[in-house]
Structure 1
């Protein structure tokens, strides 16, 4: 027991206990509604792990959550609250769609990377607007990023309607085959699940996040500016430039998420009546992962498993999918209210300390 507590210490232990408490709260709500929580959770995991197709679709569900989680967490590590991942996600989608449809005559090894780069770059530039207004005008990034979410939605719809629209449809034309990033070989192994190369890139981004933030001079400056901008400025760091840089890199993650959804999953962009919500889900994932890149990988897998598996709960146990949101919300609540979690695990630490004294 002592070895386990030693391994799962600090934030990792808090996240694990918060997840467990969230699942327990969900079970209590199901019991109150007259549902069988054991059957519900069994149906949920059967939906996700029951066959290779559903497992592949779960991985597809997880990919954009990883990247939008990184977008939130990277900014948070630099003292910024990027709530504009939704808009950056949409701009990334739109930029990738434009390149995927309008650029002709390129081979796949140039066209697909170009579309991916465009999605990430424009997502970063969209976030950099927030950073610039914060650095030069002192405008709160929460306000500007929320407003830019709506601007991104309507701008994307305008571009699709006027430049990319398929005749008679409320969506764009299909992207060219040379812009697709579908992973055909692995997709075939998983019964044609919509597997794409973005999944691998999302995992590699976790290593980039960690290395850049904790192993480079620029990452140190970004964290220093976030922790104490006055001290960072006194030390000779350019605070404004680092704020813009932090938001730009944060937006790249969200823009890549949008690009991967178009190039690897949908193959076209619809005229949207509302925001897809992936950027906002990324905030939840970032909180579950406690802004740690590898914690976000696990948090996104949990979130994606619960989201995709909710259909299994509906069919297998008759539980409405809205209850999954209660479970997710409960997990985030317990992570935010760490005092409650610490109170729950305190007896275990007290017992371990007492054993050492004896």
Structure 2
């Protein structure tokens, strides 16, 4: 009976912790706005009004959510294996630039072939980018956090080099590459028309498919069981006959593949081209927060990716409608991410409360 109660409380925690994280983030954001003389109710109203004002805005929410789902899934796979993939930004960036490059080269190919080749190129680029820190972690014991952070800078400057010196000049303009032709584009007239001309594309469909595929991989396959086992205890997994080195590299490759796919969707669907970046992609670090908020589960990642997209898109309306400075909007969003990041503290408090209740009941 006690084990059943503990199981119920654990499941309740999985729902309560992310919800409380978001609520506390909004409360802290409201306090910050009050300190600087802004009305939080009016400001939050402006945020949600902007996000849901038109069907086009709603379509843009899903446009922003799709790449986040891929990077969040990538982080969750690596996290299940017991390490942090901080290189999601660089892996997504490599997937973005390579998919656009291949898509531009295949502008005369049949559309299914062009899309498939461009997307696969992005996946492979992300996988190779993640394989390097994975191999170093598995065979040399290096810190994946340090290596992946360094790889972000390597891949950032490599992408700039590819645009400036490798991609044929006929595909280059002053800001980056030319716009993607229809052959390799993920955009469709149908999705654009039902969202009143938004950039909604097939990326969101791919994201939902991969939410299911990764759930199936982690919960229903031997490989998923091995990844989770190695993450929990690599020594016991080795004793049971699993190769922890192989699993570490494989999980990192899968993680990078998903991030690269997110970058491909970012390029082939959202923007239609690649433009030179001055820093790491936000979808990498936001994807980590999305994964943590969603508890690493597919349904949780779906909901938290949509929430983050609402915050990002709705935040653009706060300076216009509520007069809140853009910098303060970023602080408010960061406050919410902060509580997502320390969700373990909320879980700790809830566990303490439950322990006290249990002791009181026994007394």
TM > 0.5: yes
Matched, 1:126 2:132: no
> Does the 8 A contact of 1:161 with 1:271 survive in 2?
no
Once residues 237 and 167 of structure 1 are traced to their aligned partners in structure 2, the CA distance between those partners, rounded to angstroms, is 48
Q: Does 1:265 align with 2:265?
A: no
RMSD over aligned CA atoms reads 2.4
Relative to 1, partners in 2 of residues 1:26 and 1:209: Cα closer, same or farther, differing over 3 Å? same
The answer for the alignment partner of 2:248 in structure 1 is 243
Query: How far did 1:160 drift?
Result: 0.7
Match of 1:254 in 2: 259
What is the 5 A alignment of 1:215-226?
A: 215-226=220-231
- CA–CA distance in structure 2, aligned partners of residues 347 and 79 of structure 1: 28
Shift of 1:106: 1.6
Structure 1: gaps spanning 5 or more residues:
none
Q: Does 1:339 align with 2:360?
A: no
1:65 alignment counterpart: 68
Partner of 2:50: 47
Deviation at 1:351, TM superposition (A): 8.6
1:200-349 correspondence to structure 2 within 5 Å: 200-335=205-340, 336-340=342-346, 343=349
1:76 counterpart = 2:79: yes
Rounded Cα–Cα distance in structure 1 between residues aligned with 2:212 and 2:321: 38
* Contact 1:90–1:156 (Cα < 8 Å) also in 2: yes
Contact 1:334 1:341 in 2 (8 A): no
> How many angstroms apart in 2 are the aligned matches of 1:287 and 1:229?
22
1:185-200 equivalences under 5 Å are: 185-200=190-205
Alpha-carbon distance between aligned partners in 2 of 1:93 and 1:193, rounded to the nearest angstrom? 20
Give the Cα–Cα distance (whole angstroms) in 2 for the partners of residues 330 and 125 of structure 1. 34
Cα contact 1:97–1:268 (8 A) shared by 2:
yes
Offset, 1:107:
0.5
CA contact (8 A) 2:18 2:343 kept: no
Shift of 1:224: 0.8
Alignment TM-score, normalising by the size of structure 1? 0.91
Distance in 1, matches of 2:229 and 2:350, equals 33
2:90 touches 2:281 (CA, 8 Å); kept in 1?
A: no
TM-score by length of 2: 0.90
Question: Are the counterparts in 2 of residues 288 and 331 from structure 1 also a CA contact under 8 Å?
Answer: no
Kindly tell me: are residues 7 and 42 of structure 1, through their superposed partners in 2, closer, same or farther at Cα, counting changes over 3 Å?
farther
Q: Structure 2: state its 5+ residue gaps.
A: 1-7
- Name the counterpart of 2:4: none
Give the one of 99, 111, 116 matched to 1:96.
99
Task: State how many pairs are aligned.
Answer: 352
Q: Please report how far the alpha carbon of residue 274 of structure 1 lies from its aligned counterpart in structure 2 after TM superposition.
A: 2.1
Higher mean alpha-carbon deviation, 160-169 vs 345-354, is at: 345-354
Indicate the larger mover: 215-224 or 293-302: 293-302
Q: CA deviation at 1:333?
A: 3.4
SS at match of 1:126: helix
1:177 aligns with 2:186: no
